[in-house]
Every structure is written in C-alpha cells, then in structure tokens.
Amino acid sequence: MSLRSAPRPTMLVTGGAKRIGAAIAQAFGAAGWHVVIHYGRSRLQAEALAARLPSAETVSCDLHDWNEGPAMVEALAGRFHDWRVLINCAGVFDLDTAQGLDPATFDKALRVNAGTPARLGQAYLAHARSASGRRLIHVTDQKLLNPNPDFFSYTMSKHALAATIPMLSMARTDDRDRVYGIAPGAILASHDQTDAEADVSHRMNLLNRRATPEDVAGAALFLAGGWLMSGETVYVDSGQHLLTQTRDVLFLARQ
C-alpha cells in the first residue's frame, strides 16, 4: 500500500529501536499510526521492531552531525502528507560530575541531547505537513526540577533542551501546532546497575512506584492529541521531581 494513500497519521521517534523509544513506537503503532523508527547504530533492533508493527519503517542518521538530522526530516516531510508527531527521545547519558566536567562528554551531550533535537524540531516545523496541526515533543528529565551533581553534562543538556520548548512554542506560525516536553524519572536500569539496584532506585519517589516505559508512551499519545496548551511539560516519574535527592538514584541505591 502506498504511504501517500495510507489513512494513518505519521509519527517519528528518534532512538526508537530500544528502551523508552521502542515503547513509544509500539504504543503509536498499536493506536493506528504509521511509525518511523529512527536509529543510530541499532539497525537490527529497529528493523525487528518495525516488522512487528502494523505500519512502520526505519530511518537512520547520526545525531552528532549538525546536518544529517535536518536533512532526514526535510526528506521525510516531502513524502508524508500527515506527519503529525515528532518525538525527540534519543539521547546520551554519560557520567561526569559537578566537580569535574569532562569536555568530550559535555560536547557530545549538548550536541546530541539539545542541539540536534532543536534542529530537528526547527526542520520539522518548517517542512512537515499535517492538516490537524503538528506536535513536537522533547523527552527531557525530571532532573529539571530535582537536580544533583552527578551526570553534570547530561543534566545541563536536558536543561538546554527544556529551554527550547517555550521558545519554539512562541515561534510557532500555526496556532494548531504544539510543542511539548515529557520529563521521565528513573525508569530503566542504566550503566552497570543490577536489576535489584534498579528496583530500589526506581522506587525512590513519592509513590514508591516504578514508572514504566509504557507510562511515558501513554503520555506521548495523550500529547499527540494536542489537548494541552503549547509549551507545557508533563512529568512521568511518580513524583520524583518533587523530592530533593543529593545524588543520582544510581548511587543512592548503593548507599
């Protein structure tokens, strides 16, 4: 079936081959969307996921390159008549600290986690078409309101990305468009965490409940409807952002 004649609205999720991105892709696929799964190095996982969805395809670009991402968006915009949602979910999460910023970690985090998503969003709002309005969604982090000294460059990059949400919203030229953020808490094991450590650390929130990738995907589906005022961020973290945690939960679980 031609993608041009398909009745399904289109969405693209960066980093959609694995982890939270894959959960988002699966949720939109189950809800009747045509899903474009972006990947960097996870081609096999992306293709396997696309094969399981009712309507999906894969696309790749290097998010550390300033130009590949916008070129990818512009090319896709020429194909889809109802490209309704772009979700910037891909990111890097490398350790440095407030006592020792690592320049290479900083450069990579700011480019991949903030600069490129902003560029993708700009290209999307400039070129994509959807008669019902477009939704640009950035995945940020609950560290916006509950920072700690660990993952210093990562946290700065997510603050930078969050800053683009109101600015891009104010720059909209179509009132039907929306720019949103989703700020997850600790959801999946990271770095060298064991399953037992993850179970402890991911319950360090007001509800003593592990938020799930499916929770984030559900929030993304809700925002895809455009029900909230543009520029808003939804926290999906069981209340973690309302706490004060002096270290990343990765380390708190080991104390």
Average pLDDT over residues 5-34: 94
The helix (H) or strand (E) run that includes residue 250 is: helix 249-252
| Helix orientation angle between 68-77 and 116-127, rounded to the nearest 10 degrees | 20
Q: Which residues of 25-47 are buried (b: 16+ CB within 10 A; e: fewer)?
A: bbbbbeeebbbbbbbbebeebbe
Mean pLDDT of 78-101: 97
**pTM of this prediction exceeds 0.85:** yes
Look up residue 202 and give its two tokens: 């991911």
pLDDT digits (tens, 9 = 90+) for 140-163: 999 999 999 999 999 999 999 999
pLDDT tens readout for residues 26-56: 999 999 999 999 999 999 999 999 999 999 9
Task: Give pLDDT, residue 6.
Answer: 53
Count other C-beta atoms under 10 Å from residue 16's C-beta. Answer: 32
**pLDDT tens column, 179-202:** 999 999 999 998 788 889 999 999
Of 2.60.40.10, 3.40.50.720, 3.30.465.10, 3.30.70.20, the CATH number of 10-190+211-242 is 3.40.50.720
Per-residue pLDDT tens over the stretch 55-69? 999 999 999 999 999
- The Cα–Cα gap between 58 and 72 comes to 12
pLDDT of residue 3: 42
Task: Write down the number of H helices and E strands in the chain.
Answer: 9, 7
